[in-house]
Amino acid sequence: MLEVKNLVFHPIDNGVEKSIIEDISFTVEDGEMLVITGPNGGGKSTMAKLLMGIEKPDGGQILLDGEDITKLSIAERANAGIGFGFQQPPRFKGMTVERMLSLAAGEELPDKVCCDLLSNVGLCAKEYLKREIDNTLSGGEMKRIEIASVLAKKHKLFIFDEPEAGIDLWSFSMLVKQFEQLHQNKKESIILISHQERIIQMADRIMVIRDGKVAKVGTREQVFPGLMCHEAGCRCQNPACS
């Protein structure tokens, strides 16, 4: 279980203190899928980075299975059981896809396992194993390899930052299936940051972050119906909503 208590992030930008995350608390149970959504610039990606240790909070606590991980480094959190899928994964000249998957898994993976991981995200595996993760790959291919790399290892908690961004419709269906399967196993906790209705509808609970604060949190049934009209910051033109 993940517990986030009173998390605060106030970075200094050009000598001015900014309020990016303002006293956010929430929990994610074992096997639960929490989808974080909300308007752009609201603090969702920053929250994900704080959980992974990529950014350091100015206050609050993060506990994984009761252990305080607030002061742990990124690598220590990874080894404690957190997997992280980047919104815009970096490219690596000279590194092959199969090497990357083995690094992600923490062990040398046989070709068969690499192929399965890639097939599950909609990539024809044999074509990709020896390819380098460089500029010859499209944004969508990068994103799918990123997701495959996170799924290469068992984690207590998966965090995916906008996994659907840059992925074509066909691959998106496969991606949704992957998340559904992961969720059905109910072994790992999953945090998904997303704007995609189909992903939001998979959630056990939905949390809306706006202006660095939790605007709303609750079960899918509680939060989803009003989401498009109010919580995401949109103004709906349908008089029935207002």
Partner 1 sequence: MAEIDQVTQSILEKIDGAGFVQEGAYNLRYNGYSLCHGSTKNVTIKRKEDKQGMDVIISGDAKGDVVHIPVVVTTSGINDEVYNDFYIESGADVTIIAGCGIHNSGCNDSRHDGIHTFHVGKGANVRYEEKHYGQGEGTGARILNPVTKIILEEAAVFTLDSVQIEGVDSTKRDTQVIMGANSKLFVMEKLMTHDKQVAISDMEVRMDGEGSSAQIISRSVAKGESVQTFHPKAIGCAPCHAHIQCDSIIMDHAQVCSIPEIDAKHIDAAIIHEAAIGRINNEQMIKLNTFGLSDEEAEAVIIANFLN
Instruction: Tell me, residue by residue from 150 to 189, as one string, x for binding to partner 1 by CB under 8 A and - for no binding.
Output: ---x------------------------------------
CB–CB of 62/69 below 8 Å?
Answer: yes
Tokens (6 digits) for 227: 């989401």
According to the binding rule CB under 8 A, does residue 79 interact with partner 1?
Answer: yes
CB of 158 to partner 1, least distance (A): 11
State which residue, 38 or 83, has the beta carbon closest to partner 1: 83
According to the binding rule CB under 8 A, does residue 193 interact with partner 1?
Answer: no
State which residue, 103 or 229, has the beta carbon closest to partner 1: 103
3-state SS class at 25: strand
Q: Report the relative pairing of strands 213-219 and 21-28 from DSSP bridges.
A: unpaired
Instruction: Tell me, residue by residue from 91 to 130, as one string, x for binding to partner 1 by CB under 8 A and - for no binding.
Output: -xxxxx--x---xx-x------------------------
Rg over CA atoms, the chain:
18
Q: What are phi and psi of 20, to 5 degrees?
A: -100, -45
The residues, ordered by sequence, that sit 6+ positions from 115 with a Cβ below 8 Å of its Cβ are 125, 126, 129
State which residue, 155 or 216, has the beta carbon closest to partner 1: 155
State which residue, 182 or 217, has the beta carbon closest to partner 1: 182
By CB under 8 A, name the one of 56, 74, 107, 233 that touches partner 1. Answer: 74
Beta carbons within 10 angstroms of residue 96's beta carbon: 16
Match 């949704």 to its residue by tokens: 176
Q: What are phi and psi of 21, to 5 degrees?
A: -125, 125
CB of 89 to partner 1, least distance (A): 7
3-state SS class at 200: helix
Binding residues for partner 1 (CB under 8 A): 52, 54, 73-75, 78-79, 83-84, 86, 89-90, 92-96, 99, 103-104, 106, 149, 153
